[in-house]
Amino acid sequence: MDHRVEENGSGETGPARPDLLTLYGETFSSRLLLGTAQYPSPKVMADAVRASGAEIVTVSLRREGAGGSAGAKFWELISGLGVRVLPNTAGCHTPKEAVTTAEMAREVFGTDWIKLEVIANDDTLAPDQLGLLGAARSLVNAGFKVFPYMSDDISIAERLLEAGCEVLMPLAAPIGSGRGLNDPYGLRTLRAYFPDVPLIVDAGIGAPSHAAAAMEMGFDAILLNTAVAKAGDPVAMAGAFADAIRAGRTAWRAGIMEPRDMARPSTPVAGTPFFDLDEAAGEKGGPGGGRP
Amino acid sequence: MQRVESLQIVLNGEARETRARTLAELCAELGHGDGRIATAVNGDFVPASRRAETRLAAGDRIEIVSPRQGG
């Protein structure tokens, strides 16, 4: 994977091709995947999705009561947005529950994409890495295209890739916590270790600056929900995240400078008025005498 | 006249009596018709195409789900 600005054949540098996100062979121009839960109203949710420019939204399955129409109404709303859906297995605690939920989702939503969550603990909502791996293997064998919600651990990532996952979704911080990138070193390492695997930072993003920081590290996309849905103005915040993700992506492609410990003048030193090399040697005191 | 005994099942986590004999009949009894729902019996997915042949037994745990908001 080479997302960076590269030679375009004319000897000048510039984007050689459109910067598209590819997930299981499908391409997208937006790098923001948005959740559809917790909005103040269905209308605000729909407006936020439009403002975000997201082309993929996450959805779920929940129990339907006798004669209930909540599912039909929600489906009608989502269908009207013209986006691709990524169903999740949120709330599943065992591989079996997750696999059955995925099978139900494939039938209801008509997609073999599944955001695979196997939760280890209700307080942290941390992924059960072993359960995740088992469920991923079963689902890949059953023809699913699995998007595993995982930690940033390299060994579990390797095993999920071996199992047939083509996209990985490391968490930034606990779901719904808004704490941002809890482990920047781990995320940076994961990115470096798997330069060719689409990596989506999923969960824990609170502010657009968090999303921008992840994109500046070279992550391929961001999946978030609460930070937009629970904002004072979800529609405006959806736009802010879209801007931040675009900026972070462009910055990464442009090549971010290496940090330095010491200052370095940005204004040319040559031709500085009142600057005399002999005096700079420090023979005389006074203003400027100590400058290098 | 044959009397149809009702079955005690667990529907979406709650005890319920039904006169349905198959999963398809249960879905109809609940008013789901051809709605956008998915089903599982005792933890296993049952595709829509197999609901009519899926017979219910006392104590079966049945899940009926539909699309909803998610993160």
Q: What is the pLDDT of residues A220-234, one digit of tens each?
A: 999 999 999 999 999
C-alpha–C-alpha distance, residues A128 and A117, integer Å: 8
**Interface touch A60/B64, C-beta < 8 Å:** no
Whether residue A176 is predicted with pLDDT greater than 50 in this model: the reply is yes
Whether residue A1 is predicted with pLDDT greater than 50 in this model: the reply is no
- Overall average pLDDT of the A79-99 stretch: 96
Whether residue A286 is predicted with pLDDT greater than 70 in this model: the reply is no
| CB < 8 Å from A in window 6-65 of B | 12-13, 30-32, 35-40, 43-45, 47-48, 63-65
- Return the structure tokens found at A283: 């023979």
Q: Residues A239-266: pLDDT tens digits?
A: 999 999 999 999 999 999 999 999 998 9
Whether residue A82 is predicted with pLDDT greater than 80 in this model: the reply is yes
Residue of chain B whose Cα is closest to the Cα of A104: B38
Please list, in sequence order, all residues whose beta carbon lies within 8 angstroms of the beta carbon of residue A276, skipping any fewer than 6 positions away: A288
Q: What are phi and psi of A116, to 5 degrees?
A: -90, 115
For the entire predicted model, the pTM comes to: 0.87
Q: Residues B6-45: pLDDT tens digits?
A: 999 999 999 999 999 999 999 999 999 778 999 999 999 9
DSSP line for A121-176: -TTT--B-HHHHHHHHHHHHHTT-EEEEEE-S-HHHHHHHHHHT-S-BEE-SSSTT
Mutation target to probe the A interface, by most A beta carbons within 10 A, among B18, B42, B66 is: B66
Q: How far is B1 from chain A (nearest CA, A)?
A: 29
> Is A96 one of the annotated active-site residues of the chain?
no
Q: Residue A23 — very low, low, confident or very high, per pLDDT cuts 50/70/90?
A: very high
Nearest to B70 among A59, A63, A100 (CB): A59
Coil, helix or strand at residue B53: coil
Task: Report pLDDT for B34.
Answer: 75
DSSP state of B16: E
Q: Residues A130-154: pLDDT tens digits?
A: 999 999 999 999 999 999 999 999 9
Whether residue A8 is predicted with pLDDT greater than 70 in this model: the reply is no
- Overall average pLDDT of the A46-55 stretch: 98
Q: How far is A53 from chain B (nearest CA, A)?
A: 17
Query: What is the ipTM for the molecules in this complex?
Result: 0.93
Residue of chain B whose Cα is closest to the Cα of A60: B70
Nearest to A59 among B37, B45, B69 (CB): B69
User: Hunting for tokens 């993160």 — which residue is that?
Assistant: B71
Please list, in sequence order, all residues whose beta carbon lies within 8 angstroms of the beta carbon of residue A94, skipping any fewer than 6 positions away: A118, A131
Residue of chain B whose Cα is closest to the Cα of A39: B69
